[in-house]
């Protein structure tokens, strides 16, 4: 069961960086920036949080229920000498995301880089898909991006380096059997990214999406071996991707090196969809 917003606040964890064992402030290209990564306790989000911290950013770690994983990641980030903060919130709940923004703003400061990564899948053929499976996936994958983006909009608008980076999927670009709900949610994220990029350009905030193909995380771990082998056979680079390979693209989009890129969907898929 997901705890209430109040219980969430009690569970937040704050670190000043440069704690015992810290190795010193990294001198990477994101030094001085503050980032929030949603769904950062595992998989791609975890890799993104670590990669941004290695590049010098202070990183807030959002998760839904994997407290221990989030704590372990925070300790790892502490050791890099940047500040970190863990915050459990269900991104599909507008009140919880607003509470997260208030707490982060109070203790961590304004967020410059928002990475909307949290996502789920509930796969079945459309003929067997009930309304609850449709709504749950839309609530987390699309409404979650809306909730976090509205909650942190003022943060990025007031940042001289405002960035919104949405993690969509190859499935939102090409569709996939058994994933009509997931494809619709991820295609929605692409549309939202492009429209918002146009709206926020006047404020010098860039909005981009990253579209991973099949990446080695818990999300694909449940795939039967024969399906996995079939997928790999279709990928020109003949392997699944690694979370770190997605994270590097996010780090680039968060940096000044990507200052003239907005409304873009960056595919990280080994050539599966070109």
143 makes contact with ligand NAP (CB under 6 A): no
Identify which of 209, 92, 53 has the alpha carbon closest to the alpha carbon of residue 61: 53
Question: Which residues fall within 8 angstroms of residue 151, CB to CB, at 6 or more apart?
Answer: 94, 97, 98, 100, 101
Alpha-carbon distance of 200 to 33, in angstroms, equals 19
- Per rule CB under 6 A, count of chain residues that contact ligand NAP: 31
90 makes contact with ligand NAP (CB under 6 A): yes
CB of 242 vs ligand NAP, minimal distance in Å:
10
Within 5-142, where are the H helices?
Answer: 5-11, 43-54, 67-78, 94-107, 131-138
Residue placing its CB nearer to ligand NAP in the complex, 122 or 220:
220
Catalytic-labelled residue, pool 63, 87, 146, 182? 182
Q: What SS3 state is found at 179?
A: coil
**Segment interacting with ligand NAP, rule: CB under 6 A, options 11-19, 56-64, 101-109, 123-131:** 56-64
Alpha-carbon distance of 117 to 46, in angstroms, equals 10
Sign of CA dihedral 203, 145, 151, 49: negative
Residue placing its CB nearer to ligand NAP in the complex, 161 or 243:
243
Residue placing its CB nearer to ligand NAP in the complex, 169 or 206:
169
**Segment interacting with ligand NAP, rule: CB under 6 A, options 17-25, 38-46, 50-58, 151-159:** 38-46
167 makes contact with ligand NAP (CB under 6 A): yes
Burial class (CB in 10 A: 0-12, 13-18, 19+), 151: buried
Alpha-carbon distance of 95 to 113, in angstroms, equals 21
**Segment interacting with ligand NAP, rule: CB under 6 A, options 117-125, 130-138, 199-207, 225-233:** 117-125
44 makes contact with ligand NAP (CB under 6 A): yes
Of 214, 253, 255, 266, the residue at the interface with ligand NAP (CB under 6 A) is 214
The residues that bridge with 63 in the sheet, in sequence order, are 88
**Segment interacting with ligand NAP, rule: CB under 6 A, options 79-87, 88-96, 157-165, 226-234:** 88-96
Active site residue 107: no
Half-sphere exposure of 159 (CA within 13 A, CB side): 25
Residue 248 φ/ψ, nearest 5 degrees: -60, -35
38 makes contact with ligand NAP (CB under 6 A): yes
Of 218, 224, 225, 260, the residue at the interface with ligand NAP (CB under 6 A) is 218
Q: Please list every residue from 222 through 251 that binds ligand NAP, using CB under 6 A.
A: none
Q: How many residues in total does the chain contain?
A: 274
- Structure tokens of 32? 């001085």
CB of 24 vs ligand NAP, minimal distance in Å:
28
Residue placing its CB nearer to ligand NAP in the complex, 161 or 250:
250
> Which positions touch ligand NAP (CB under 6 A)?
38-45, 62-66, 90-92, 117-120, 140, 144, 167, 169, 212, 214-215, 217-220
Residues belonging to the active site: 182
């Amino acid at each position: 069961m997901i705890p209430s917003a109040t219980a969430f606040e009690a569970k937040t964890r704050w670190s000043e960086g440069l704690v015992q064992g810290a190795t010193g402030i990294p001198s990477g290209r994101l030094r001085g920036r503050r980032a929030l990564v949603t769904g950062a306790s595992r998989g791609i989000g975890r890799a993104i949080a670590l990669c941004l911290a290695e590049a010098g950013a202070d990183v807030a770690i959002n998760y839904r229920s994997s407290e221990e994983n989030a704590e372990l990641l925070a300790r790892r980030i502490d050791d890099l000498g940047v500040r970190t903060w863990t915050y459990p919130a269900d991104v599909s709940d507008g009140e919880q995301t607003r509470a997260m923004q208030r707490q982060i703003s109070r203790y961590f400061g304004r967020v410059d880089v928002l990475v909307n990564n949290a996502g789920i899948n509930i796969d079945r053929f459309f003929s067997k898909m009930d309304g609850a499976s449709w709504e749950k996936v839309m609530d987390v994958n699309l409404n979650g991006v809306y909730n976090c983006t509205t909650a942190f909009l003022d943060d990025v608008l007031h940042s001289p380096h405002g960035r919104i980076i949405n993690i969509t999927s190859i499935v939102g670009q090409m569709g996939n059997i058994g994933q009509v709900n997931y494809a619709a949610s991820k295609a929605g994220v692409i549309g939202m990214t492009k429209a918002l990029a146009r709206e926020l350009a006047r404020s010098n905030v860039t909005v981009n999406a990253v579209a991973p193909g099949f990446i080695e995380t818990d999300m694909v771990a449940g795939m039967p071996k024969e399906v996995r082998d079939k997928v790999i056979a279709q990928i020109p680079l003949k392997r699944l991707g690694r979370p770190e390979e997605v994270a590097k693209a996010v780090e680039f989009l968060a940096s000044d090196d990507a200052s003239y890129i907005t409304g873009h969907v960056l595919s990280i898929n080994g050539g599966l969809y070109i």
